[in-house]
Amino acid sequence: MAEKWTKHKNSLRLVNPANKNKLDIIVVGTGLAGSGAASTLAELGYNVKVFSYQDTPRRAHSVAAQGGINAAKNYKNDGDSVYRLFYDMIKGGDYRAREANVYRAAEVSNQVIDHYTAMGVPFARDYGGLLDNRSFGGVQVSRTFYAKGQTGQQCLLGGYSALVRQVQKGKVTMYSRREMLDLVVVDGKARGIVARNLVTGEVERHSAHAVILATGGYGTIYYLSTLAVNSNGSAAWKAYKRGAMFANPSFIQIHPTSIPVLNDYQCKLTLMSESLRNDGRVWVPKKKGDKRFGFEIPEEERDYYLERRYPAYGNLVPRDVASRAAKERCDAGYGVGETGLSVFLDFKDAIEKQGKKAIEDKYGNLFEMYEKITGESPYERPMRIYPAGHYTMGGLWVDYNLMTTIPGLFAIGESNFSDHGANRLGASSLMQCAGDGYFIIPYTVTDYLADEIRTPKISTDLPEFEAIEKEAKERIDKLVGIQGKQTVTSFHKRLGKIMWDYCGMHRNEQGLTKALGLIDELAKEFWSDLLIPGDTDELNQEIEKACRVADYFEMAKLLCNDALNRKESCGAHFREESQTETGEAKRDDANYTYVSVWEYKGDNTQPEFHKEELKFEFVELQERSYK
Ligand SMILES: Cc1cc2nc3c(=O)[nH]c(=O)nc-3n(C[C@H](O)[C@H](O)[C@H](O)COP(=O)(O)OP(=O)(O)OC[C@H]3O[C@@H](n4cnc5c(N)ncnc54)[C@H](O)[C@@H]3O)c2cc1C
């Protein structure tokens, strides 16, 4: 396996420089995955068109990533290796990821760090000037590179600089404030997109020889999540409806350390990075309903439940385990804060041992963010945290070349079903996004385009473009024409609550079946009582939101059906019917060692279900234990 990617790369076909100049590629998304792919493909000589709905590529959601990015450099000499990173990811994902892809992600991780460092990303350095590392959940080594609590922002700035260099060279055309509304497939191949200019409302056609989606995750299906409010799953959903299969849609990671819901008016939740669990200790009072402030509760009256239940990994157990443990304590009546739906993350010991300055150096901006939102200083009082929807392991199904089931349509970064199985380990997403964008897709797209060198520029006058543009406009007109009484946000909030209650941290057959009925009822109400003020030919954010939420109503059903189908518990997918006596997730390897792959068959028809069997040749399937 260690040689598989090298051998595969050597077998992929090339395109000569003169031909590259004649080929167009669309990249949708400018996060770590999209900016990496676009700048690298442009450097190779292709003509690249890049789309993002933000006003600048620098605002892609990757900017929010806080804690770090993994690589198997073994700088700490603590026994790390490419194999160990691969093994940790396979185990962390509860043995529901493809071995070869995960190994490759671990392998290219080292190139990613070198590349970003060469671009000038200011990773933290130790006293001697070498790149520093810290730990993240589910591992026993320190392999996470970081830039304070702004790793995503710094990496994105590096990626953005390289992208803008290509814009200056004329090899990249940047289309900001454009939202892809649909994919155009001509003779079975992806040939372009239809996008809405969010400023003028104009619907535009764009063509290319290949299309790459780097559109991020769909965690906002819960409405409240750690993602930016505009993050959405529409691009992947539209690709699904045009023939790209969707894999493991119900695998959504719930992050254990978000600032909890404080009132009914919040539109998003703010993450407190997992890196904080390097030094912060998680606890609840030993006495039920104890309403004293954290610092008032003496040591002997505290239950450090993660250290108690999982001594081998302690506070650094993986996210799914930490989230369920927090929910269990709160459900049992030990939760803190007004709602009782939060637990403490306490830095008192770390500050005493290392000093305030050391803690400030590592987490200063996170502490500041926490204080701005809650009015409490984590230097003086423990933080209060609770799990929140965060990362989607599910996404568009891709082969080893990261191509979807539509020839010429690729999916990279969080938008594909990725290398994280049923649960992603912290700091492995940036690693995968950048690896996909810089070090995998340039080879595999080139292989695909080797067959396209005789294909002239794709005309946007083709009937397929015309038909899809018409469909997109009609959908917008239909939504605007409803003229009911309720806002998009009110529907999104209600849909999110259904998903959180029945397809969130815990799932069971009865709840999921109930959710399917509730989603149908709410969707009916949406399509008859939605109110969108304003017009279609202007900046109108209600239209943007309505298009995304309309897609979420459809996607929500696929998520519930997928969760119903998988009767085992694995990683973040916890089926209450399948748990051990101690309340841990119980896998069923005999029946569920597969990727669930769904094929769209029409709006009123059940999607067709396919299985990709997972074969483990290099790792033995074991019960996942962090005790
Ligand atoms: C708060 C937070 C903290 C995190 N911290 C870490 C961390 O420390 N380490 C780590 O490894 N991971 C972290 N993650 C996860 C990681 O940040 C993301 O998984 C990753 O950045 C996704 O990158 P991406 O390139 O796939 O997509 P994104 O960065 O999400 O970019 C999506 C792009 O697609 C564009 N787009 C989407 N839909 C459309 C459309 N229809 N039309 C046009 N453009 C579209 C957007 O404009 C944007 O440019 C964190 C996530 C969150 C939410």
What is the Å distance from ligand 1's center to 216 Cα? Answer: 5
Ligand 1 atom at minimal distance to the Cα of residue 36: 25
Query: Token pair 């390097």 is at which residue?
Result: 278
Structure confidence at residue 322 (pLDDT): 94
CA distance 417 to 397: 6
- To test the pocket of ligand 1, the residue of 135, 430, 436 to mutate (highest count of ligand atoms within 8 Å of its CB) is 430
What is the Å distance from ligand 1's center to 50 Cα? Answer: 15
By percentage, how much of the chain surpasses pLDDT 90? 92
Q: Are 84 and 123 in contact (CB under 8 A)?
A: no
pLDDT digits (tens, 9 = 90+) for 497-509: 999 999 999 999 9
What is the Å distance from ligand 1's center to 31 Cα? Answer: 6
Choose among 164, 90, 165, 210: nearest CA to 451. 210
CA distance 615 to 618: 9
Structure confidence at residue 418 (pLDDT): 79
Band of residue 274 on the pLDDT scale cut at 50, 70, 90? confident
Structure confidence at residue 293 (pLDDT): 87
Choose among 393, 409, 405: nearest CA to 244. 405
- To test the pocket of ligand 1, the residue of 150, 215, 393 to mutate (highest count of ligand atoms within 8 Å of its CB) is 215
pLDDT digits (tens, 9 = 90+) for 98-152: 999 999 999 999 999 999 999 999 999 998 999 999 988 888 899 999 998 899 9
The answer, yes or no, to whether residue 264 has pLDDT greater than 90, is: no
Q: Is residue 45 part of a domain?
A: no
Band of residue 570 on the pLDDT scale cut at 50, 70, 90? very high
Structure confidence at residue 528 (pLDDT): 98
Instruction: Please name the amino acid found at residue 65.
Output: A
Please give, one letter per residue, the 3-state secondary structure of 369-413.
HHHHHHCCCCCCCCEEEEEEEEEECCEECCCCCCECCCCCEEECH
Active-site annotation, residues: 319
pLDDT digits (tens, 9 = 90+) for 592-603: 999 999 999 999
Q: Is residue 112 part of a domain?
A: no
Ligand 1 atom at minimal distance to the Cα of residue 53: 47
pLDDT digits (tens, 9 = 90+) for 520-540: 999 999 999 999 999 999 999
Q: Phi/psi of residue 511, each to 5°?
A: -65, -40
Q: Is residue 375 part of a domain?
A: yes
Hey, whose CA ends up nearest to atom 4 of ligand 1?
65
Q: Is residue 336 part of a domain?
A: yes
The answer, yes or no, to whether residue 458 has pLDDT greater than 90, is: yes
Kindly report the average pLDDT of the chain as a whole number.
Answer: 96
Hey, whose CA ends up nearest to atom 31 of ligand 1?
31
Ligand 1 atom at minimal distance to the Cα of residue 228: 53
Q: Are 95 and 51 in contact (CB under 8 A)?
A: no
Band of residue 627 on the pLDDT scale cut at 50, 70, 90? confident
Band of residue 271 on the pLDDT scale cut at 50, 70, 90? very high
pLDDT digits (tens, 9 = 90+) for 178-218: 999 999 999 999 999 999 999 999 999 999 999 999 999 99
Residue 577's CB is within 10 A of a number of other CB atoms, namely 12
CA distance 25 to 409: 10
What is the Å distance from ligand 1's center to 215 Cα? Answer: 7
Structure confidence at residue 301 (pLDDT): 97
End-to-end CA distance of the chain: 30
CA distance 313 to 69: 20
Q: Phi/psi of residue 599, each to 5°?
A: -115, 125
Band of residue 478 on the pLDDT scale cut at 50, 70, 90? very high
Structure confidence at residue 149 (pLDDT): 84
What is the Å distance from ligand 1's center to 81 Cα? Answer: 27
CA distance 584 to 553: 31
Q: Cβ < 6 Å from ligand 1: which residues?
A: 28-34, 51-54, 60-62, 64-69, 151-152, 178-180, 214-217, 226-227, 234-235, 271, 273, 390-391, 413-415, 427-430, 433
CA distance 56 to 30: 9
Long-range contacts of 354-362 (CB under 8 A, 24+ apart): 354/279, 359/279, 361/148, 362/134, 362/148, 362/275, 362/278, 362/279
The answer, yes or no, to whether residue 452 has pLDDT greater than 90, is: yes
Band of residue 162 on the pLDDT scale cut at 50, 70, 90? very high
What is the Å distance from ligand 1's center to 242 Cα? Answer: 23
Q: Is residue 351 part of a domain?
A: yes
Choose among 327, 330, 344: nearest CA to 281. 344
Q: Is residue 274 part of a domain?
A: yes
Q: Which CATH number fits the domain that encloses residue 372?
A: 3.90.700.10
Structure confidence at residue 46 (pLDDT): 98
Structure confidence at residue 136 (pLDDT): 85
Question: What domain range includes position 371?
Answer: 254-390
Structure confidence at residue 123 (pLDDT): 97
Compute CA distances 383 → 261, 374, 431, 449, 601, whole Å.
13, 9, 28, 52, 47
Q: What is the mean pLDDT of residues 303-311?
A: 96
Please tell me whether residue 194 adopts helix, strand or coil conformation: strand
Show Cβ contacts of residue 469 under 8 Å, excluding neighbours closer than 6 positions: 194, 203, 205
What is the Å distance from ligand 1's center to 152 Cα? Answer: 9
For the record, the structure tokens of 10 come out as 């050597």
Q: Where do the DSSP E strands lie in 198-313?
A: 203-207, 210-213, 246-247, 252-258, 281-285, 302-303
Ligand 1 atom at minimal distance to the Cα of residue 427: 11
Give the helix ranges, DSSP H, for 120-275. 151-168, 234-241
Q: Is residue 344 part of a domain?
A: yes
- To test the pocket of ligand 1, the residue of 213, 414, 428 to mutate (highest count of ligand atoms within 8 Å of its CB) is 414
Structure confidence at residue 64 (pLDDT): 95
Structure confidence at residue 262 (pLDDT): 84
- To test the pocket of ligand 1, the residue of 27, 35, 52 to mutate (highest count of ligand atoms within 8 Å of its CB) is 52
The answer, yes or no, to whether residue 175 has pLDDT greater than 90, is: yes
Q: Are 420 and 379 in contact (CB under 8 A)?
A: no
CA distance 71 to 352: 31
Compute CA distances 314 → 146, 183, 254, 621, whole Å.
22, 46, 19, 23
Show Cβ contacts of residue 287 under 8 Å, excluding neighbours closer than 6 positions: 301
Query: Token pair 């943007």 is at which residue?
Result: 544
What is the Å distance from ligand 1's center to 390 Cα? Answer: 11
Q: Is residue 607 part of a domain?
A: no
By percentage, how much of the chain surpasses pLDDT 70? 100
For the record, the structure tokens of 497 come out as 């609550």
Q: What is the mean pLDDT of residues 593-622?
A: 96
Choose among 214, 104, 107: nearest CA to 156. 214
Number of domains in the chain: 1
CA distance 576 to 596: 19
What is the Å distance from ligand 1's center to 217 Cα? Answer: 7
